[in-house]
Amino acid sequence: MSSNPGPEEPSAPRSSSQDVPASEDERAEREETTVTTAAPAAAVEEEGPTDVIEAEDGPVEEDEFLAEGWDSTSSNASTSVTSSVYHHAYENGRRYHAYRYGRYPIPNDDLEQNREDMRHASMLETTDGKLFFAPIGDNPGKIIDIGTGTGIWAIEMGDLFPSAEILGLDLSPIQPTWVPPNVRFIVDDIEDEWASGSGWDYAHFRNMAVILRDLQKAVNQTFRHLKPGGWIEFQETWGMPFCEDGTMPSDDIMVRYFELCTAAMAKFGMNVDLGPKVGEYLERAGFTNVSCVRKKMPMGTWAKDKRLRLIGLYVRELALHSLASLGKVFANLGMSPTEIEVWGATVRAALKESDKVHRYYYHYFWYAQKPEGGSIS
């Protein structure tokens, strides 16, 4: 690897062809077949724009997305608990969870928490305000949010279902202490032996399939601890960019960036390419009624539709903020701080010009049901 790649052509480690998309033809083939080959028995529903997303002809109004009431300095990480699981580790000016240190290479500090809450807001725009797609009914009794992060989804579910018991679990103890009375949080590792009770009506995972080292084990354990007839849902972003109008070059920097992320996260035993394939794991665990809603999310404010422009703004800002969180990830590839900075500057420049290249991503909402005749372990 060059120690000083130029800003126009940064070098990137590449994994095998099985892990990294290798060509424009392969990407086109995967876009066309990803849902049908991932889970042949699953019902797939396209929501949102299924045709080419129409691009805006003129400039976006300067104040169209003016933020009001957003406090980027606020933190919900305060706690008086002194247990060792609430300790943190610090590297290169960023804070990471100390519980099972090294398990998850993304920070848990205020910057990352703000990014997680922004991602939640982008999801609500994408789903027209839906927190879930699984048909869990009007009165679910027990809901578990696995990988709860800042706890924002669990808190909103607690408000929506005040009679339900909501449990959020995560490796990082960053959730707020002032929550609805039916919501509580614990520090736990879903890939360890299950310690979160049984009889759940609904289990929710958001962007977890791509960071679990053993997705099948997590799905199997969830299956065993759901009540018969209970539901599981995975909400997963796939970071491979696509384009429908020829504005994205064949050697697009964001495609190369996704390839780099794929190779880097693989070093931690994670597969960021799993979003389209979750259905396979659900079926192998014994779930039925496996279904998927797939939505397009533009990057940048190039879409003609105003709601899609707002989603595109969120997607671009999330990508920009993520660059500062991936130093530890890329360092594990053997990249020097200089190389990481050069890559970051190159991607940042591409993102700031994102309205000229009409990229979009897919987000998958997989949900499935435990058969009524099943048992609870």
CA 121, 122, 126, 128: dihedral to nearest 10 degrees? Answer: 20
Q: Is residue 70 part of a domain?
A: no
Q: What's the rounded Cα separation, in Å, for the pair 282 and 40?
A: 12
Q: What is the DSSP string of 329-371?
A: HHHTTT--HHHHHHHHHHHHHHHHTGGGS-EEEEEEEEEEE--
Per-residue pLDDT tens digits of the chain, which is 377 residues long: 433 333 333 444 333 333 334 444 444 333 333 333 334 445 566 655 556 777 766 665 555 544 343 333 333 332 323 343 334 343 444 333 343 444 444 444 445 556 676 777 888 888 988 999 999 999 999 999 998 878 889 989 999 999 999 998 877 665 567 788 999 888 777 777 776 788 999 999 998 898 888 999 999 999 999 999 999 999 999 989 999 999 999 999 999 989 988 888 888 788 989 999 999 999 999 999 999 999 999 999 999 998 999 899 888 888 887 776 666 777 878 888 888 888 889 988 998 888 899 999 999 999 999 998 766 55
The pairing of beta strand 43-46 with beta strand 88-91: unpaired
In the block, which residue shows the tokens 């086109």?
28
The CATH number given to whatever domain includes residue 98 is 3.40.50.150
Domain enclosing residue 313, as ranges: 24-58+80-369
Q: Is residue 12 part of a domain?
A: no
Q: Is residue 10 part of a domain?
A: no
Q: Is residue 148 part of a domain?
A: yes
Give the predicted TM-score (pTM) of the model: 0.73
Q: What's the rounded Cα separation, in Å, for the pair 172 and 97?
A: 5
Q: If residue 139 lies in a helix (H) or strand (E), which one and from where to where?
A: none
CB count within 10 Å of CB 4 equals 9
- Residue 238 phi/psi, 5-degree rounding, is -105, 120
Q: What's the rounded Cα separation, in Å, for the pair 172 and 149?
A: 7
As for how many domains the chain has, the answer is 1
Q: Is residue 333 part of a domain?
A: yes
Q: Is residue 332 part of a domain?
A: yes
